[in-house]
């Protein structure tokens, strides 16, 4: 048993800056398994509070452990001065996630440095970051855009979560504190949706090479989530994921798609086919689609779908609405069926007659795992 463990992909999640470290803490709190957590910050006090396996305070001389003062240049220099230490921490990783809240100092300036080091070491490097709320100010927004541009050049794939769009998934009484927690939850969802694919064994294994085929050098990526119950639930959930408020643009033109469907043991093959077909139609006709299901009876009659789309052609995708087939004119998420963040995501490739890639199916049993936690802002206040 010990020898087999050596063949598992080594995945490291790096949270850099205040937002990134908070996101890592949330992932640890929610029980994200199979990864090593690394927290990096110029704020020594915040770093002490982190639950990460490894902590690295950078910029000890330039900031004296007091933070970057929301200056990305200070964050960049602090990370560059610690390049050797960061490289040592990332050695041996097959995949590295770099997570941060864009717009501040340490995360905005330091994340591209960390990503560049990871990629230089040969790791599949994925950035998962948030764009700040509008209420955080124009300066922070401008710095965020500059940081996102820099990070995109340093990663294989970059997933950007627009915080403003989280407000469309919550209610009008959502507090500022809950809004920032919501952002952490979505960062968790993005990372877990990919790591569970690699770390959770399936009846037919979907391995690291499959994920790498979608995400290596893919550039910008989009993430959508959906949840539904009752008649046409899988199709409705897929429609919600494809038209999720988290998607700033359409999935149309995506050459690589990771998709998971989670449901109870009554989840039907016809339902799965309908949902997968809808997502397939929203992607490029020759897309490499990694698809799979997780069976979790704790979900009852609920179906949850998470979609990550990557590998777009140079142009900007155009926002569009994908109409559901066979369930009436449902074209937008129902307020009582707010998208739920899928947990325990599993993927495989869906069958399609014109797909040059072989069809694959993965079905995983979640057993009595009771660590399933659905973010309150995605629960539709059930």
Q: Which residues are annotated as a binding site for GTP?
A: 18-22, 105-107, 136, 140, 184
What DSSP assignment string belongs to 116-147?
A: HHHHHTT-EEEEEEEEPPGGG-HHHHHHHHHH
In SS3 terms, 193-218 reads as HHHHHHHCCCCCCCCHHHHHHHHCCC
In angstroms, rounded to a whole number, what is the distance separating the alpha carbons of residues 254 and 279?
Answer: 10
**Separation CA 241–CA 244 (nearest Å):** 5
* Nearest-angstrom CA–CA distance, 20 and 266: 38
DSSP 233-297: HHHHHHHHHHT-TT-SS--TT-SEEEEEEEE-TT--HHHHHHHHHHHHHHS-TT-EEEEEEEE-G
Q: How far apart are CA 200 and CA 10, in angstroms?
A: 13
Q: Is 225 helix (H, G, I), strand (E, B) or coil?
A: strand
The DSSP secondary-structure symbol of 378 reads G
Distances (CA, A) of 207 to 96, 147, 165, 192: 16, 31, 32, 15
Instruction: Give the whole-angstrom CA distance, residue 77 versus residue 73.
Output: 6
Q: Which residues are annotated as a binding site?
A: 18-22, 105-107, 136, 140, 184
Distance in angstroms (rounded) separating the CA atoms of residues 147 and 165: 19
Burial readout 157-183 (b: 16 or more C-beta within 10 A, e: otherwise): bbbbbbbbebbebbeeebeeebbbbbb
- In whole angstroms, give the CA distance from residue 233 to residue 43: 46
């Amino acid at each position: 048993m010990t020898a087999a463990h050596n063949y598992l992909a080594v995945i490291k999640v790096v949270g850099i800056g205040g937002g990134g470290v908070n996101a890592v803490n949330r992932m640890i709190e929610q029980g994200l398994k199979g990864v090593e957590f690394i927290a990096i910050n110029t704020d020594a006090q915040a770093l002490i509070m982190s639950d990460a396996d490894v902590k690295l305070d950078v910029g000890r001389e330039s900031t004296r452990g007091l933070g970057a003062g929301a200056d990305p240049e200070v964050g960049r220099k602090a990370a560059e001065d610690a390049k050797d230490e960061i490289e040592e921490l990332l050695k041996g990783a097959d995949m590295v996630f770099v997570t941060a809240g864009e717009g501040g100092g340490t995360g905005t300036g330091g994340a591209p440095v960390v990503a560049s080091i990871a990629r230089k070491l040969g790791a599949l490097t994925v950035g998962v970051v948030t764009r700040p709320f509008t209420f955080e100010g124009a300066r922070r927004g401008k710095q965020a855009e500059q940081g996102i541009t820099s990070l995109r050049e340093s990663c294989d794939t970059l997933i950007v979560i627009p915080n403003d769009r989280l407000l469309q998934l919550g209610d009008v009484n959502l507090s500022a504190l809950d809004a920032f927690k919501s952002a952490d939850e979505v960062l968790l969802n993005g990372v877990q949706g990919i790591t569970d694919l690699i770390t959770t064994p399936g009846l037919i294994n979907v391995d690291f090479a499959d994920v790498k085929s979608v995400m290596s050098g893919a550039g910008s990526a989009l993430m959508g989530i959906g949840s539904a119950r009752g008649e046409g639930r899988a199709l409705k959930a897929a429609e919600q994921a494809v038209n999720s408020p988290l998607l700033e643009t359409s999935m149309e033109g995506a050459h690589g798609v990771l998709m998971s469907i989670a449901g109870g043991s009554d989840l039907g093959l016809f339902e799965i086919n309908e949902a997968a077909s809808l997502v397939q139609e929203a992607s490029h006709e020759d897309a490499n689609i990694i698809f799979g299901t997780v069976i979790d009876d704790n979900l009852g009659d609920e179906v949850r779908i998470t979609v990550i789309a990557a590998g777009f052609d140079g142009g900007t995708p155009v926002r569009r609405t994908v109409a559901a087939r066979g369930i009436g004119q449902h074209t937008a998420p129902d307020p009582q069926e707010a998208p739920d963040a899928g947990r325990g995501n599993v993927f495989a490739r869906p069958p399609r007659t014109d797909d040059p890639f072989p069809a694959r199916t993965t079905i995983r049993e979640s057993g009595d795992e009771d660590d399933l936690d659905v973010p309150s802002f995605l629960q539709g206040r059930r």
